[in-house]
Amino acid sequence: MNARSTGTLEVRELRRSRSDRTLSGVCGGLAAYFEIHPAVFRVAFVVLTLLGGAGVLIYLAAAAVMPAEGQVDSFATTTLRGVRDRRWPLIGLALVVVGGALALSRLVLWPGGDAWVFLLLVGALILWIARLGLAAEDAPALAPEDARRVRRRRRRLGIVVASVLALVLGLAAVFVAVFDVHLRHGVDERVHVVTTMDELRDDYRLGAGTLRLDLRALPLPPGVTRMDARVDVGALRIVVPEGVALRVRATARLGEIDVLGERVEGAGVEIGLDQTGERVLVLDAHVGLGRLRIVRALP
């Protein structure tokens, strides 16, 4: 007598979760469908929202097209079924869709700074979590119970650890994007003592750390000399020559600015200075998060 076993193909349905929900159950439904921890999707929506607002529209669209758990039709299909034979409601719905698409097109979908590094790492972690889920599906069903239990524990631990790392890296991506941090400009403590015009650069940039520019011995020629300096996260200190007129635009996204004794602090702060003279140094200085100080050399 021959024994024949037949297998049935499990068909997954994408539904908004009723048991694992914070708002409408979109993340819980996505997590159940892809067998990934829901925190990964929640972090993704938060990151997209903070980076430009796209997360809100994408979440609302998902909530509209995903049926709730235990239901067949979504809000979108129910609405379309109710208005398909009536002209004006259908036109109104079409205008809402077009308006949402236009709003999405105006959002900043690509973050500033070097956030792409962290987003790549988050994406790699999500793929690894998904691979853990697939590996669990492919595990032999007839394996000893102890072995299956060990694999389940390892899989859960791996998913938790990867989800926490994805959350941390996602928050780092938000931080880097908000403050427009360019890590490729360096993470360091740099001191530039400039004594000749040949040594003077048009701009000085640092991703994170401390940047000190000492121009006290720089013999500026008659006319206007321009220079830009930027530190994304950290401190920027510039010592300007004595007896030189200054035209300064000093800005900080969040932090403290001190220009020749005039001091402000807070979010989105700025100090401007416009002096006239035979020799003028035009400074455009900026810190994303940190402290900016411009002082004049003592005679």
List helix spans (H) across the chain.
Answer: 26-34, 38-52, 54-65, 75-83, 87-106, 115-138, 145-178
92 within a domain of the structure (yes/no): yes
Domain count, the chain: 2
Last residue of a domain, one of 139, 157, 178: 178
Verify that 174 and 256 share a domain, yes or no.
Answer: no
Query: 110: pLDDT confidence band, cut at 50, 70 and 90?
Result: low
* Residue pLDDT, tens place only, 167-201: 787 778 778 877 888 888 888 899 999 999 999 99
In a domain, 269, yes or no: yes
Q: What mean pLDDT is predicted for residues 44-72?
A: 74
Short-list 249, 243, 259, 246, CA closest to 228? 249
Residue 13 lies in a domain: no
Find the domain containing 268 and state its range: 183-296
What would the mean pLDDT of 90-96 be, rounded to a whole number? 61
Asked if residue 7 is part of any domain, the answer here is no
Comparing 34-38, 48-52, 63-67, the range with the smallest average pLDDT is 48-52
Say whether 297 sits in a helix, a strand or coil: coil
Q: Nearest Cα to 214, choosing from 227, 222, 224, 223?
A: 227
* Whether the predicted pLDDT of 9 surpasses 90: no
Q: Which of 153, 178, 203 is the last residue of a domain?
A: 178
- Is 209 part of a structural domain of the chain? yes
**% of the chain with per-residue pLDDT over 90:** 34
Predicted TM-score of the model (pTM): 0.61
Q: What is the pLDDT of residue 46?
A: 74
Report whether pLDDT(276) > 80. Answer: yes
What is the arithmetic mean of pLDDT over 268-287?
93
CA-to-CA dists, residue 42 to 21, 35, 163, angstroms? 10, 14, 11
State the Cα–Cα distance between residues 104 and 53, nearest whole angstrom: 8
Average pLDDT rounded to a whole number, residues 56-82? 75
| Angle subtended at Cα 84 by Cα 83 and Cα 89, rounded to the nearest 5 degrees | 40
Q: Does residue 172 sit in the same domain as residue 187? A: no
Within this chain, do residues 170 and 195 fall inside the same structural domain, yes or no?
Answer: no
Q: Is residue 220 part of a domain?
A: yes
Q: Classify residue 283: in a domain, yes or no.
A: yes
Q: 65-79, 197-211, 245-259, 263-277 — which is least confidently predicted? A: 65-79
Residue range 274-278: average pLDDT?
Answer: 91
Averaging pLDDT over each range in 63-67, 114-118, 124-128, 241-245, which range is the top one?
A: 241-245
Question: Is 229 in contact with 203 (CB distance < 8 Å)?
Answer: yes
Q: For tokens 């040594």, name the residue.
A: 199
* Domain shared by 65 and 174, yes or no: yes
Say which residue, 158 or 184, is predicted with more confidence.
Answer: 184
Residue 12 maps to a domain: no
Question: Are residues 207 and 252 located together in one domain of the fold?
Answer: yes
- pLDDT band per the 50, 70, 90 thresholds, residue 2: very low
Same domain, 163 and 78: yes
The pLDDT value given to residue 217? 92
